[in-house]
Amino acid sequence: MKSRRTLLVRTGHGSAGVAAVPGLPDITPDTTPDTTPDVVPDALPAAVALPAAVAPTAPVGPAVTDVTAVLPPMPLDPPDLPPVPVIPDPPAVPPAIPAPSRPEGAAPAGPPAPVIEPLFPHAPGLNWAGPGDLPQPPAGGTPMSGAWALQTLGDARPAPVAAPAPDLRTAAEQPPTARDIELIRASLAVVEPVADRATAHFYALIFLHHPEVRALFPAAMDVQRDRLFRALLTAARSAGDPEGLRSYLSALGRGHRRYGTLTGHYAPVGECLVQALSRYAGGRWDAETELAWRRVYRLVSSIMIEAAEEAARTSPPWWQAEVVGHERRTPDVAVITVRPDQAYPYRAGQYTSLETPWWPRVWRHFSFATAPRPDGLLTFHVKAVPAGWVSNALVHRAAPGDVLRLGPAAGAMTVDHAAGADLLCLGGGTGIAPIRALVEEVAEYGAAGRSVEVFYGARQAAELYELEALSALAARHPWLSVRPVLSGAGAPGAGALTGELPEVVGRFGPWIGREAYLSGPAAMIRRGVGVLLRAGVAPELIRHDLVGDLAAG
């Protein structure tokens, strides 16, 4: 307020000004200069004022014509008011903010954060770094992965669950029995209908008690949760096949290196897993079931740790790869060629996990489209699928100069060149990529009297983007036959067969004695396996890598 002699009457639409109010004296405004800034408590900024088009233009409610009817009579001489307190001027220099207090001579809490710089400054698309990206430690410091591991494993917070009793630990060190496998499968059958809640609870326990590991996971955890339960189901169902289980878990252990997983992480993860399963297994959970899970988890973790440590002796956890070629074959399919930063070992028919700088910590699987080349370049066929984060980024955003990150090669869809059996290959859509790589490898090693039949399926002729290259290979090698198959509506292209790819292959059977290779959408692979079994192909001769993430985007 300007002074104690000034009386303000708020006016608005439908109200009278101060001079028009009967019974009020004529007050002359104070002309004394005012050096105190006006302060309006809880005032709204001007940016939120109603625009003129929204502000009311007419009085709201009935107009008030006689304010004496609603205002009490005011005295002509207002009573004396207490003096206005003097408000001091603000200081010319703001007070300094004190530094955080700690005992004299004490070191700052925690190690100094390392400076993170891109490994490839010339690559415009690279804008992130993560654990392991600094191969050499900063001056006087610790490598990022080592510092992260020390912080994680040396944390003084209490464990999410109490450590098992000594007698339970001793019993858990025994190998799983047939009874243990039966209990594992029975408890998983109870948890499977609520797998989303069980896995969410498991990750909540991990992040609650070890929040520093949250940065290693993607922002959206839905795919990650599915991976966990799929891994548990696969391990439980493969318990009767020790060789197959070891192969699956070894690949899983090698693949987990790209996340920064260390040996010391497996024990706390196991405790959180046991607690989550005990919560959602209901009446199927008891002391015997817990012991079975501890025995199986100990076996699983030991196989994964052994494979990871063995791989660490010969290869890095991931490779950096610069995009050197990006060719659009169709509106939603791109052929991408990358140059890895060091030698990358793989076989034709295998696949790798790939991460882009635009979606950090989100990995997707893509098959190699060529056999290993002398120049060391790697090629992938990528289709942008609906809501596919990685695939859409690779097709519509990636360009030469961008740097991607690759995990180790995986997959068992490889050719045994010593066997000499005839090959039958089914490739649907971009699933033709590993099929072409297999054909190139057979041509390199020599057919040795074997024949190779390739069925290449798509909906429309325009989607057979690799047909010309395959036809050129067939023209040079008489042992190779390529048959295009179209399943969409309308007339097929010249020389193309009509129908769904698995059913068309079945019409050309029987295929007794053939080694079969399938690659493409998951539904096509499942149907194709059934058709091939009915066409006489032995189950052990059917090869495919049905990985859910291949179609997850």
Give the start-to-end residue ranges of the domains of the chain.
1-29+62-79, 164-312, 319-406, 423-551
CATH of 164-312, one of 1.10.490.10, 3.30.559.10, 1.10.1740.10, 3.40.50.300: 1.10.490.10
The answer, yes or no, to whether residue 495 has pLDDT greater than 90, is no
Residue 492: DSSP 8-state: P
Give whichever of 25-34, 40-49, 288-297 has the largest mean pLDDT: 288-297
Express each pLDDT in 457-471 by its tens digit: 999 999 999 999 999
* Structure confidence at residue 439 (pLDDT): 97
Q: Which is it for strands 333-340 and 319-330: parallel, antiparallel or unpaired?
A: antiparallel
Averaged pLDDT, 363-385: 96
- Mean pLDDT calculated for residue range 141-157: 36
Higher pLDDT, 232 or 111: 232
Q: Are 348 and 415 in contact (CB under 8 A)?
A: yes
Q: Round the average pLDDT of the chain to a whole number and report it.
A: 75
Residue 399's pLDDT is 96
Q: What is the pTM of this model?
A: 0.64
Q: How many CB atoms lie within 10 A of CB 103?
A: 5
The secondary structure element, H or E, covering residue 542 is strand 542-543
* C-alpha pair distances (Å), 380 with each of 228, 244, 370, 468: 27, 28, 8, 17
Fold of 423-551: Rossmann fold (3.40.50)
pLDDT reported for residue 420: 83
* Beta sheet of 497-498, edge-to-edge order: 497-498, 480-486, 452-458, 423-428, 515-519, 542-543
> What confidence category does residue 113 fall into, taking pLDDT thresholds of 50, 70 and 90?
very low
Highest mean pLDDT among 159-163, 203-207, 256-260 belongs to 203-207
Interior angle at CA 286, CA 230 and CA 264, nearest 5: 55
Task: Give CATH superfamily name and number for 319-406.
Answer: Translation factors (2.40.30.10)
pLDDT in the model for residue 516: 97
Tens of pLDDT, residue by residue over 37-89, are 443 333 333 333 334 344 444 444 444 444 444 444 444 444 455 555 555 56
**Region 104-124: what's the mean pLDDT?**
44
∠ CA 341-390-259, rounded to 5°: 60
Which of 115-119, 193-197, 301-305, 438-442 ranks highest by mean pLDDT?
Answer: 438-442
